Structure 1
Amino acid sequence: MGKDQRKWNETHKKFREVLLNPEKHKEAVQLFLSLHSFLHSSSISHMSEATLADELVTNLDGNTFRQYPVSIPDTSNSIAWHLWHITRIEDMTMNILMLNKQQVLHTTNWLEKMNISFPHSGNDMSEADIALLSSTIDFNSLLEYREAVGKRTQEEISLLSPGQFKMKVDQKRIKRLFDENAVMDNSKWLAEYWSKKDIAGLLLMPASRHIFIHLNKCVRIKDKLHKKKKKLV
């Protein structure tokens, strides 16, 4: 998978280079779809090879999925939290900020299905709430929610027109983040960060690089916990 991740980084660099060129819009869309597909289940794009998301969930047991806190250099949060967090971020940035449409979260009773009550991004979340989410969230429903969000992103990105990637985020859509409790009041810094972006910026980070970073953290958590379990056997 290391070779695939290097290829992903190279593709992301190329995506950045062509993203704001309207004459290369179709190429940019195809590059994004390639990048995005690697970050979701292969069932979304019908890829023949395993994706980074596939690698993570393969042989992922419940204890490893829910373990909190964990101890790796750049996070203490559970795999459960990371998967939920990146999905909420993708859902709100793509469907509120980019499209001004209904979040996938609200298309059905996803919170009830996932057995949680947190509609926000998870930024600045208390340790108690992270522990609660990690211990109660339904694994299969979370994966189904991820798939629904990923499919929506791929469907909608293909409908954007040349030049739209340069559009700035509408400030009225920033307000929706708070109206829908997608971002907590103590995470205003996050909304301010997004408010300065254009659509290209949302595609470069929340919808691609951000997911890539968190999935890699999850793989490292999984590998460390599995190695630890083997030593105890």
Structure 2
Amino acid sequence: MRSRELLLDAYGRIQEELRPAVEGLTPEQLTYRPAPNANSIAWLAWHLARVQDDHIAEVAGTEQVWTAEGWYDRFGLPFPPSATGYGFTSEQVAQVRVPSADLLLDYAAAVHARTAEFLRGLTDNDLDRVVDENWDPPVTLGVRLVSVLADDLQHVGQAAYVRGSLLPG
């Protein structure tokens, strides 16, 4: 197995785990927060897709799916197009309200499709390319891809936990 196949499988698991955490929930259930400052499923799903979209577009040198395919307008959130949810306050998290679970899942699927397209074109040598010199040591493409993957899987697990606290059993 090459790195490309490993990454494709790993990123595919985000989609596999996100669907059961989000699917079938009402807009009200998607905004449920188990504690006043906790993240909602809507925010978790939106944020993980936004960060993946932002980071993959940056390393691929493409426009984000969020703006290129009109998702920003479809969501109608009160944030600038560049917002990913990173550093959001509790009040901003509460503003992430979506009309349906399908909208979240469709956006995440579009991001995954763009990610998979990018990953299919990678070679093992590409993973050593420096993509961010603002860190010491500088961040390589491989490190960036694993970082996004780890963050997304963590947020998927959090969304599944929130769903479980909302709909136990």
Length-normalised TM-score, structure 2: 0.87
CA gap of 1:62–1:99, structure 2 versus 1, over 3 A, is: same
2:90 is the alignment partner of 1:127:
yes
For residues 165-176 of structure 1, the aligned pairs below 5 Å read 165-170=127-132
Determine what percentage of the aligned residue pairs are the same residue: 20
Which letter maps to 2:103?
S
2-side partners of 1:225 and 1:194: how far apart? 42
Q: Is the 8 A contact 1:170 1:195 kept in 2?
A: no
Number of residue-to-residue matches in the alignment: 166
Greater relative CO (CA pairs within 8 A, separation 6+): 2
The structure with the greater share of residues assigned to helix is: 1
For residues 84-163 of structure 1, the aligned pairs below 5 Å read 84-96=46-58, 98-118=59-79, 119=81, 120-133=83-96, 136-139=97-100, 140-163=102-125
- Match for residue 13 of structure 1? none
Superposition RMSD in Å = 2.3
CA gap of 1:195–1:144, structure 2 versus 1, over 3 A, is: farther
Q: Is the 8 A contact 1:91 1:105 kept in 2?
A: yes
Deviations 1:130-174 (A, max 9, x none): 2122xx323332221111110000011111233110001156xxx
Q: 4+ runs of 1 displaced by more than 6 Å?
A: none
1-side partners of 2:52 and 2:151: how far apart? 9
2:146 is the alignment partner of 1:209:
no
CA gap of 1:122–1:195, structure 2 versus 1, over 3 A, is: farther
Deviations 1:13-61 (A, max 9, x none): xxxxxxxxxxxxx611111111111111xxxxxxxxxx21232134433
Structure 2 unaligned residues grouped into runs of 5+: none
Which letter maps to 1:76?
A
For residues 189-208 of structure 1, the aligned pairs below 5 Å read 192=134, 196-206=138-148, 208=149
2:23 is the alignment partner of 1:29:
no
User: Could you tell which deviates more after superposition, 111-120 or 52-61?
Assistant: 52-61
Which letter maps to 1:199?
L
Length-normalised TM-score, structure 1: 0.64
Q: Is the 8 A contact 1:85 1:121 kept in 2?
A: yes
1-side partners of 2:3 and 2:146: how far apart? 11
Please say which structure displays the higher CA radius of gyration: 1
CA gap of 1:144–1:59, structure 2 versus 1, over 3 A, is: closer
Structure 1 unaligned residues grouped into runs of 5+: 1-25, 41-50, 172-191
SS in 1 for 2:124: coil
